[in-house]
């Protein structure tokens, strides 16, 4: 008997259809997976952007009431006339503010501080320290909103920071970026004295004229720097808030000025000779290139070409190590210095005087 033709033709067709469906599903799976990955990436990107926005917005809301727009005035025979503008950060409820010294530079400076709530309050300059580019103001108010000070020593390169100030007079402007470098140095001058401001913060948060004296803030809303300079497009600098600057602010608040010790030498870093490097496990010192006449250094016997290795019990690797030691506590206090002279170590005793700008 011949087989049923329907039975012969139906079974292969069903098998082919199943195989075709499986092949189509296999071919479509990578596309589906890719689409799912794109969707997940887009969602993660949106979530990250939203988190970034929330952080910046939260910092701005928290700090804007503590940042003032300064209109600086100077006294003349015809009364007070405009002398500049900038920003300032509220330190205390009873009216102390911090700003950049160059914003209020000059004699008989005062002015008006405007806040985001519309208040305009007069202020006077309590004291300024050009060598750190910090100045302290006192506003005529007792109900200001103080900012929380942080610690710049905990910052990391790449960390989010927010700059709040008044560029070109536009009050309460906010820009955001990252810490692009740490440990920079910035020269500052007072009269004929030049000093390097250490551990300056470099950021790519947009800064413009008028931002000086404003706040550089971390993502927790803590002030970690005082914006001080625009060094180029996408390159701003800020004086760090750390243990050293807190001491300077305290001195300005207490005495209206910062007292520093003075040696009377100029120099630069220089590698130690090979034998001294091995003996001391120290790579460099400071070579003296000038000794000021009648200075503490000259009286102690320091000479040009001496290589300073130690001062006041601490190693000297660079000029900043000497600057860091020149604090008020060393004024009129004998300190020992170790120098390398002609390849031989020589110990000397110096008595630093007070620096007069």
Which positions are catalytic? Answer: 102, 133, 212
Query: DSSP H helical segments within the chain, as ranges?
Result: 5-63, 243-255, 274-280, 296-300, 319-325
Distance CA 63, CA 94 (A): 17
Q: CA-CA distances (angstroms) from residue 296 to 265, 338, 339?
A: 9, 15, 15
* β-pair partners for 99: 135
The two structure tokens encoding residue 182? 């740490």
Compute the half-sphere exposure of residue 275: CA atoms within 13 Å on the CB side of its CA. 5
Residue 52 neighbours by CB distance under 10 Å: 13
Whole-angstrom distance, CA of residue 242 vs CA of residue 236: 18
Query: Would you say 176 and 56 are in contact if contact means Cβ atoms under 8 Å apart?
Result: yes
C-alpha pair distances (Å), 257 with each of 49, 80, 302, 322: 45, 24, 29, 21
In whole angstroms, give the CA distance from residue 177 to residue 175. Answer: 7
Q: Smallest Cα–Cα separation from 353: which of 291, 265, 264?
A: 264
Q: Is the dihedral of CA 63, 224, 90, 198 positive or negative?
A: negative
CB 286 within 8 A of CB 316: yes
What phi and psi values does residue 65 have, to the nearest 5 degrees? -65, -15
């Amino acid at each position: 008997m011949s087989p049923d033709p329907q039975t012969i033709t139906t079974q292969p067709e069903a098998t082919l259809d199943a195989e075709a469906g499986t092949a189509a599903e296999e071919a479509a799976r990578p596309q589906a997976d890719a689409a799912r990955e794109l969707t997940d990436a887009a969602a993660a990107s949106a979530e990250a952007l939203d988190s970034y926005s929330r952080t910046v917005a939260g910092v701005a809301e928290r700090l804007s009431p503590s940042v003032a727009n300064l209109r600086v005035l100077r006294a003349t025979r015809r009364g007070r006339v405009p002398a500049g503008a900038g920003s300032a950060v509220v330190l205390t409820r009873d009216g102390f503010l911090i700003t950049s010294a160059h914003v209020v530079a000059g004699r008989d400076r005062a002015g008006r501080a405007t806040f985001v709530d519309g208040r305009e309050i007069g202020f006077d300059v309590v004291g300024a320290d050009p060598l750190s580019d910090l100045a302290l103001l006192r506003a005529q108010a007792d109900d200001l909103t103080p900012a929380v000070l942080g610690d710049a020593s905990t910052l990391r390169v790449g960390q989010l920071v927010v700059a709040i100030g008044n560029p070109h007079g536009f009050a309460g402007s906010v820009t955001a970026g990252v810490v692009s470098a740490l440990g920079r140095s910035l020269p500052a001058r007072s009269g004929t004295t030049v000093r390097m401001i250490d551990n300056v913060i470099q950021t790519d948060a947009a800064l413009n004229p008028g931002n000086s004296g404003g706040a550089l803030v971390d993502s927790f809303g803590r002030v970690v720097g005082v914006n001080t300079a625009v060094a180029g497009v996408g390159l701003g600098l800020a004086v760090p808030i750390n243990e050293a600057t807190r001491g300077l602010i305290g001195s300005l608040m207490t005495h209206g000025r910062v007292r520093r010790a003075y040696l009377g030498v100029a120099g630069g870093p220089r590698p130690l000779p090979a034998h001294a490097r091995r003996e001391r496990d120290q790579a460099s010192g400071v070579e003296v290139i000038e000794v000021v006449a009648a200075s503490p250094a000259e009286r102690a016997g320091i000479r040009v070409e001496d290589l300073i290795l130690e001062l006041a019990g601490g190693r000297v690797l660079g000029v900043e190590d000497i600057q860091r030691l020149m604090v008020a506590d060393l004024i009129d206090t004998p300190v020992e210095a170790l120098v390398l002279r002609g390849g031989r170590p020589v110990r000397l005793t110096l008595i630093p005087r007070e620096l007069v700008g």
